[in-house]
Amino acid sequence: MEVEEIFLDGQRGRIAGLRGGSKGGAPLLAMHGWLDNAASFVPLMPHLQEFDVVALDLPGHGASAHRAPGYDYVFVDWIHDALDALDALGWQSARLLGHSMGAAIATLVAASAPERVQKMALIEALGPIAGDATHAGERLRNAVAAHRTRAQRPRRLIPNLETAVKARLAVGDMSDAAARMIVTRNLEAVDGGWQWRSDPRLAMPSHLRITEEAALSIVHAVEAPTLLIAADPAPPYFTPEMRAARVAQLRDGRLVVLRGGHHLHMEQPDVVAPILLDFLR
CA distances from 91 to 49, 55, 87, 96, 109 (A): 18, 14, 6, 12, 14
- Active-site pick, 22, 100, 198, 217: 100
Does the annotation mark 100 as catalytic?
yes
CA distances from 22 to 16, 37, 49, 53, 213 (A): 19, 21, 6, 8, 40
* Distance in angstroms (rounded) separating the CA atoms of residues 59 and 33: 12
User: Alpha carbon 25 to chain centroid distance?
Assistant: 23
Active site residues: 100
